[in-house]
Amino acid sequence: MDRVTDGPLIVQSDKTLLLEVDHEKAGEARAAIAPFAELERAPEHVHTYRVTPLALWNARAAGHDAEQVVDALVSFSRYAVPQPLLMDIVDTMGRYGRLQLVKSPVHGLTLVSLDRAVLEEVMRHKKIAPMLGARIDDDTVVVHPSERGRLKQMLLKVGWPADDLAGYVDGEAHPIDLDYDGVAPGSAEGGWHLRDYQEMAADTFWAGGSGVVVLPCGAGKTMVGAAAMAKARATTLILVTNTVAGRQWKRELIARTSLTEDEIGEYSGERKEIRPVTIATYQVMTRKSKGEYKNLDLFDSRDWGLIIYDEVHLLPAPVFRMTADLQSRRRLGLTATLVREDGREGDVFSLIGPKRYDAPWKDIEAQGWIAPADCVEVRVTLTDEERLQYAVAEPEEKYKLCSTAHTKVNVVKSILARHQGSQTLIIGAYIDQLEELGRELDAPVIQGSTRNREREVLFDKFRSGEISTLVVSKVANFSIDLPEASVAVQVSGTFGSRQEEAQRLGRLLRPKKDGGQAHFYSVVSRDTLDADYAAHRQRFLAEQGYAYRITDADDLLGPAIG
């Protein structure tokens, strides 16, 4: 290939993109390819991205066309881009929407083809054929209304993602308005406004009717949900990760909208209230009784006009199955990352909807809406005894052993000493390790068995500054609003979960009153699985433009940070 520019990108025919991180245009290139390329590996100097069909279709649904994608690759590529790859991108993006789901006044739900050969192909597919009814004409076939979601799932799997234009029911009307004079929780003053990107996200979602909005933790996804509710002006079901998150939603909605406490119900393990706006936890929705998901009836309990899925990347499989039957309802997914460790991103695309809006974290940071973050990986050397234990351990025990090594305790203490006076979260995955840290640091521990009331009391004390250090399990990964937290120390994780890394950093990204920086430490045992999984977890943050500095634990014993 001939050298054509001094660009930071090398585009390869196998659809991988190599980005030279230290190049002066690396940031521009990363932003240009982010809508359609997924980060696979992020070592120090060259990051590897891959262009996948689903990423291209999400980009297409979010308003990017093939010309923009091609232009981004050509503009930043160091060498001539392989022509077959460009042709393949154009062809792949052109597959989206050649089949359309349309509501006919005479025939009801129909599948309409803009390419007759494609319709012939899918009608002969043995799993798709039973979902279809009578052929109306050469380009149109009736679809059984109950199969709307499952048909979209199957069409995606065979490579012909349908554009769902069949519309939505309005649901039961209920007045909901944004209250711009409201006082936000934790604030002394009233008066606020939707940020430009929040308004754009809500508008883009509403224009598409259903789909996913991707925003960084701390960027106000709840307000995008509230804005969508104000557009729908209808009964709304909100699904959240846990009861504490649900109560935060309730506080925000009461403060920022015309809704009163009596209009918002909590449907959890503790209460079963069904009101015009009902907030339910994923746990209660997926709880089995005598082998059945009894609480899934909540989906049918009212004529919902809008369903909001908070942290949609965590949507459990039973809720996916029920959502397949809810395709006539408007559906909004909110998340900081579309990455799912179970590989079901395609089901989010088919059943919740495609990505409608995505704001890069660094863009939101540049506008001052989230705090800048300094990410540091602290590498710890295990003692000879710990190394021997690790070496002879069974494979399934190795990760727990190296990630919970006692050697990490003194490192955590050193980090806290460097940030004396800062509100700090110690985050881990193993209860024994967290309880040990709680004792050593004389700090309270919040874990899965901690009662909701006790959690809320501890979180409130942390917000007020009465407690400066909290030790938390993965229950604090999601939807916990702790704007005062400025330091987080991650001691162990859920193997190589990229979504977890994003959520944990997100605990720190609320803007600080003093405009200060957030500090995110990951304490990792070198030469072990702990280091391998840490590299995997960091991929998502690298994709967003965050660079990890790597330091040795011995180097932490320097001057404190104010």
Q: Report, as an integer, the average pLDDT of 339-350.
A: 81
Rounded CA-CA distance 361/125 in Å is 41
Give residue 185's pLDDT band: very low, low, confident or very high (50, 70, 90).
low
Q: Report, as an integer, the average pLDDT of 79-95.
A: 95
**Which pLDDT value is given to residue 448?**
79
Residues 127, 41, single domain; the answer is no
Tell me which of 124, 146, 164 is where a domain ends.
164
Q: Is the dihedral of CA 486, 490, 39, 62 positive or negative?
A: negative
Q: Is position 268 within any domain?
A: yes
Q: Is position 406 within any domain?
A: yes
The pairing of strands 306-310 and 330-335 is: parallel
Rounded CA-CA distance 430/447 in Å is 10
Residues 158, 208, single domain; the answer is no
Position 220 pLDDT exceeds 80: yes
What single-letter DSSP state applies at residue 476? G
For the beta sheet containing 9-11, the strands, ordered from the edge strand earlier in sequence to the opposite edge, are 9-11, 16-20, 46-50, 38-41
Contact 424, 469 (CB under 8 A): yes
Taking the mean position of all CA atoms in its chain, how far away is CA 229? 20
Position 188 pLDDT exceeds 80: no
Position 95 pLDDT exceeds 60: yes
Give the number of other CB atoms < 10 A from CB of residue 291: 5
Write out pLDDT tens, residues 135-153.
999 999 999 989 999 999 9
Residues 375, 521, single domain; the answer is yes
Rounded CA-CA distance 265/279 in Å is 6
State the total domains in the chain: 4
Rounded CA-CA distance 15/28 in Å is 20
Give residue 501's pLDDT band: very low, low, confident or very high (50, 70, 90).
low
Specify the CATH number for the domain of residue 224: 3.40.50.300
Residues 424, 475, single domain; the answer is yes
Rounded CA-CA distance 439/387 in Å is 24
**Distances, alpha carbon 497 to alpha carbons 22, 72, 202, 359, in Å:** 26, 29, 29, 21
DSSP-derived secondary structure for 418-446 = HTTTS-EEEE-S-HHHHHHHHHHHT--EE
Position 180 pLDDT exceeds 70: yes
Q: What predicted TM-score, i.e. pTM, was given to this entire model?
A: 0.79
Please tell me which residue, 175 or 452, carries the higher pLDDT value: 175
Contact 164, 129 (CB under 8 A): no
**Which pLDDT value is given to residue 559?**
47
Tell me which of 338, 363, 388 is where a domain ends.
363
Position 187 pLDDT exceeds 80: no
**Which pLDDT value is given to residue 39?**
75
Rounded CA-CA distance 175/57 in Å is 35
Q: Is position 347 within any domain?
A: yes
Q: Is the dihedral of CA 541, 542, 544, 548 positive or negative?
A: positive
Contact 409, 440 (CB under 8 A): yes
Write out pLDDT tens, residues 34-84.
889 887 776 667 888 889 999 999 999 888 999 999 999 999 999 999 999
Residues 108, 154, single domain; the answer is yes
Q: Is position 186 within any domain?
A: no
What are the tokens at 356? 């409608």
For the beta sheet containing 108-113, the strands, ordered from the edge strand earlier in sequence to the opposite edge, are 132-137, 140-143, 108-113, 99-104, 163-164
Rounded CA-CA distance 152/145 in Å is 12
Contact 511, 371 (CB under 8 A): yes
Q: Is position 561 within any domain?
A: no
Residue-wise burial string across 501-530, b where 16 or more C-beta atoms lie within 10 A, e elsewhere: bbbbbbbbbbbbeeeeebbbbbbbbbebbb
Q: Is position 179 within any domain?
A: no
Give residue 11's pLDDT band: very low, low, confident or very high (50, 70, 90).
very high
Q: Which of 522, 500, 475 is nearest to 337 (CA)?
A: 500
Write out pLDDT tens, residues 248-276.
899 999 999 999 999 999 998 888 999 99
Residues 267, 340, single domain; the answer is yes
**Which pLDDT value is given to residue 148?**
94
* pLDDT over 70, % of the chain: 88
Write out pLDDT tens, residues 297-327.
888 888 999 999 998 877 888 888 888 888 9
Question: Which residue in the block uniquely carries the two structure tokens 């029911």?
Answer: 169
- Name the strand (E) or helix (H) holding 141: strand 140-143
DSSP-derived secondary structure for 377-428 = EEEEPPPHHHHHHHHHS-HHHHHHHHHT-TTHHHHHHHHHHHTTTS-EEEE-
Position 547 pLDDT exceeds 80: no
Give residue 189's pLDDT band: very low, low, confident or very high (50, 70, 90).
low
Phi-psi region of 137 (alpha: psi -120 to 50; beta: other; left: phi over 0): beta
Range in 74-83, 452-461, 553-562 with the lowest mean pLDDT: 553-562
Q: Is the dihedral of CA 376, 377, 383, 386 positive or negative?
A: positive
Domain span holding position 103: 99-164
Q: Is position 169 within any domain?
A: no
Q: Is the dihedral of CA 157, 162, 163, 167 positive or negative?
A: negative
Q: Is position 299 within any domain?
A: yes
Residues 477, 329, single domain; the answer is no
Residues 88, 103, single domain; the answer is no
Contact 21, 58 (CB under 8 A): no
What are the tokens at 67? 């010309």
Q: Which of 61, 127, 544, 142 is nearest to 348 (CA)?
A: 61
**Using alpha carbons only, what angle is made at residue 53 by residues 52 and 54, rounded to the nearest 5 degrees?**
90
**Which pLDDT value is given to residue 293?**
77
Position 434 pLDDT exceeds 60: yes
Residues 420, 436, single domain; the answer is yes
H-type helices in 96-181, by residue range? 116-123, 148-157
Give residue 235's pLDDT band: very low, low, confident or very high (50, 70, 90).
very high
What are the tokens at 72? 């981004």
Phi-psi region of 203 (alpha: psi -120 to 50; beta: other; left: phi over 0): alpha
Residues 224, 247, single domain; the answer is yes
Phi-psi region of 465 (alpha: psi -120 to 50; beta: other; left: phi over 0): left
Tell me which of 43, 59, 94 is where a domain ends.
94
Residues 318, 375, single domain; the answer is no
Residues 544, 425, single domain; the answer is yes
